[in-house]
Structures are given as C-alpha cells and as structure tokens.
Amino acid sequence: MPRGRKLASGAQFIAPDAYPQMLSRPDAARALLNLRSAETAAKAQVAMEAAIPPMRAAILRYVDEMDAAAHDLKKLFAIAHEIRGFAETAGMITTGRIAEILCRYMDDMERAGKPPDATIVALHASAIARAARAEEDDVRMGEKVAAELAALVARRLAEAH
C-alpha cells in the first residue's frame, strides 16, 4: 500500500503519482486521442442506435408486467425503476420521465413511513403504459401529463409530511 504524506488533520494524502494508474502514460495519451476522435464518436453512435430497438421492446415487456402487477406495489416499484433506468436512453423520454416521478414518490413515501396512495400509483402506471405504447413519443403532450402528475405528487407529499 503506498504511503502518502500526513495532513494537519491526521489524514493520509496519497498523490496520483504514488499509486498505480489505469493506463501507463503513453497508453493514456493514445487513449485520450482515441476518445476524442470522430471515428470513435461515429462507432459509438452506431452502438447507441443498435441498442435502441431491443431496449424499446424490453420496455414494452416491462409495461405488460406492470399491468399484471397492478396490486403488488413492491413489484410495481421494481419495474418502474427498471423502466426509468433506460427508457430515456431508448428515446422514450416521456415514459422515463413519468417512471422517474413515480419512483421518487414511492421513495419519498417510504422515507416518510407511509404507504403510497394507490390512486396516484395507478395513474402513473397508466400514464407510463400509454406513453410507452404510443407509436411516436409525443413529447409535448407527455410533458404536460408528467407536469400534472408531478404537481399531484407534490401536493400529496406535502399532505403526507
């Protein structure tokens, strides 16, 4: 274990040149050029685009599971968490945004030691399903729905605290 210098607080400070780095200096220089190259950006773009169709299909499967888990809040939260994790990466902005609001609400209620309101959860689950199943992600309409749900959640959370 490398030894560093002692700080006034008694903590040990270990400078970057005192421990092994991720890459040697020459490799790091080449890696940096590579990370900034147009060729790498183009390859990454192709990778992102290839990932989207299977992600969208997976989100639709999650939505089906969400329908089936309507009365199982724990499972529903787990599914919403998965959806929020990569819906936006898959280009399903509205779906991800509503899943995010639902997850935050359920997190906040758990922290407050209170059960989530079943109506609010059902409203969000329904909005997530509609957004995900829409052929085109209607961002403007979706944002309106998400904003209304967020306002509703804020009111209910204020009542809960």
CB of 77 to other proteins, least distance (A): 11
Tokens for 65, please give them: 């599971």
CB of 21 to other proteins, least distance (A): 3
Widest CA span of the chain, in angstroms?
Answer: 61
Residue closer to other proteins by CB (options 29, 118) is 29
Alpha helix segments (H runs only) across 69-138: 73-86, 93-112, 118-133
Measure the CA–CA gap between 54 and 41, rounded to whole angstroms. 21
- State which of positions 74-103 bind other proteins (CB under 8 A): 81-82, 84-89, 96, 100, 103
Calculate the alpha carbon distances from 114 to 30, 48, 124 in Å: 54, 40, 18
CB of 9 to other proteins, least distance (A): 7
* # binding residues, other proteins (CB under 8 A): 59
Measure the CA–CA gap between 75 and 4, rounded to whole angstroms. 48
5 DSSP β-pair partners: 13
x/- binding map, residues 10-49, to other proteins, per CB under 8 A? Answer: xxxxxxxxxxxxxxxxxxxxxxxxxxxx-xxx-xxxxxx-
Backbone angles phi, psi at 44, to 5 degrees: -65, -40
The answer to whether 149 touches 119, Cβ cutoff 8 Å, is: no
- Is residue 113 near other proteins by the rule CB under 8 A? no
CB of 60 to other proteins, least distance (A): 12
Residue closer to other proteins by CB (options 89, 119) is 89
Task: Give me the residues that bind other proteins (CB under 8 A), please.
Answer: 1-2, 4, 7, 9-37, 39-41, 43-48, 50-51, 54-55, 58, 81-82, 84-89, 96, 100, 103-104
